Amino acid sequence: MPETILRTEGLSKKFGQRWAVKDVNLEVNKGDIFGFLGPNGAGKSTTIRMILTLLTPTSGSVRIFGKDVRRDRHEVLSRVCGIVEKPDFYIYLSAYRNLEVLGNLSRKIAKDEIVSALEIVGLASRANDKVKTFSHGMKQRLGIAQAILTKPDLVIMDEPTSGLDPQGMKEVRDLVLTLSRDHGTTIFLSSHLLTEVHSVANRMAVLNHGELIVQGKVSDLLKGDSSYYSINVSPQDRAVEILKAQPWIEIVSVANEIDIHIDSGRAAEVNRLLVVNDIEVSSFTAKRTLEDYFLKITEGASDL
Ligand SMILES: Nc1ncnc2c1ncn2[C@@H]1O[C@H](COP(=O)(O)OP(=O)(O)O)[C@@H](O)[C@H]1O
Ligand SMILES: [Mg+2]
C-alpha cells in the first residue's frame, strides 16, 4: 500500500448559497505528481486554499502526513510548500534575500545552497535584483527555488503555468519533474489544461462545478489507444461469461448495460463474438473517453 500524504474527506465550501467545492475526497500518495484538473471556476483554488488552511471549510477535513491540518497546523505546514497563484514574496527584497529569509524560517541555510537553488531555476544572474522587477514566470521559478531549498515533503502549486508563455510553461514543467525525481518530493498541482497534467502527472483528479468527477492513474484515465463501449444484451449473464473468457476484453462494470474496455478497432469483433453465441445485441455504443469529456466541459472557456 502506498503511503497517503494528503487526504481530503468530504471537503466542502459554500459561498453564500453556492457550493464552490462539494464533498471532495482526494487521495495523494507519497511520490505522486498529482494533477488536479478542472475548468476555470471548478473550485480548484478554493480546495487548495482549504488544504493550506487559508480558508475554513464549511464541512469536511484535510489530513496531511496523517494529521489534521487545522489541529496540527504548524507541525504539518512546516513540511509543506504552497505556491499559490500569486506567490507571496517580499517584493522590495532581492531574490537571494527572499530565499534567505524564507529558507531560514525552517532551518539554517548556507549561502551556496541558496545560490545553487537559484541556479537550478535559472535565476542566478538575477539573484540581486528586487523581486518587484520579476515577471510572473520568474516568480513561479523563485517559488520552486524556495521548494528546492526548504526541502518540503509536499509541494502544492495552484496553476503554476497559468499566464506563462510556452517556453515558461516548459521550464516550470521541467522543474516540477526535477523536484520530484531528484528530491522525491510529493507534488500536488492544479491546472485547467489537460495536456499540462498529462505531461507531468502520474495520478490525477478531475473537478467540475465543485465536484470530483474521477480520480486515478493518468495512464488508466487517458488510455490513448483504447476505447470504452456500453453494450445492451440479452441474456446478460451469458454475455458476461462469454466476454470474461476473452483476455483482450476488460469488463469495467455490469449494470443495465455492460461497460467494456478494449483496444480501438476491435468493437466489431466483440459484436461478432456475441452474435455467433446467440446473444441478442440491442445496442453497442462508444462511451466518451475522459479526454473527450474534459474537452467538452472546458469548451468555451475563455482562456484555452
Ligand atoms: N471568496 C469567494 N467568495 C465567493 N465566491 C467565491 C470566492 N472564491 C471563489 N468563489 C467562487 O467559487 C467558485 C470556484 O472558484 P475557484 O476555486 O477560484 O475555481 P478555480 O480555481 O477552479 O478556477 C467560483 O464560482 C468562484 O466564483
Ligand atoms: Mg484557480
12 vs 24, 58, 71, 215, CA distance in Å? 7, 6, 18, 17
pLDDT at 287: 72
pLDDT at 226: 63
Ligand 2 center to residue 134 CA distance, Å? 21
Q: Which atom of ligand 1 is nearest to the CA of 55?
A: 1
Where would I find the beta strands (DSSP E) of the chain? 4-15, 18-24, 27-29, 33-37, 59-64, 67-68, 80-83, 154-157, 186-191, 203-208, 211-217, 226-234, 250-254, 258-263, 280-286
Whole-model pTM: value is 0.78
Q: Quick one: which ligand is closest to 58's CA?
A: 1
Nearest alpha carbon to residue 259 among 231, 293, 292, 220: 231
Identify which has the larger pLDDT, 242 or 103.
242
Ligand 2 center to residue 38 CA distance, Å? 9
Q: Quick one: which ligand is closest to 43's CA?
A: 1
Amino acid residing at 160: P
Nearest alpha carbon to residue 79 among 30, 14, 43: 30
Q: Which atom of ligand 1 is nearest to the CA of 40?
A: 23
pLDDT at 101: 87
| Tens-digit pLDDT profile for residues 115-143 | 999 998 999 999 999 999 998 889 989 98
- Domains of the chain (ranges, CATH numbers): 4-221 (3.40.50.300), 226-288 (3.30.70)
pLDDT at 85: 65
Percentage, residues of the chain above pLDDT 90: 59
Query: Confidence class of residue 221 from pLDDT cuts 50, 70 and 90?
Result: confident
pLDDT higher than 50, residue 303: no
Nearest CA to ligand 1 atom 25: 41
To test the pocket of ligand 1, the residue of 17, 37, 40, 46 to mutate (highest count of ligand atoms within 8 Å of its CB) is 46
To test the pocket of ligand 1, the residue of 13, 15, 207 to mutate (highest count of ligand atoms within 8 Å of its CB) is 15
Nearest CA to ligand 1 atom 18: 45
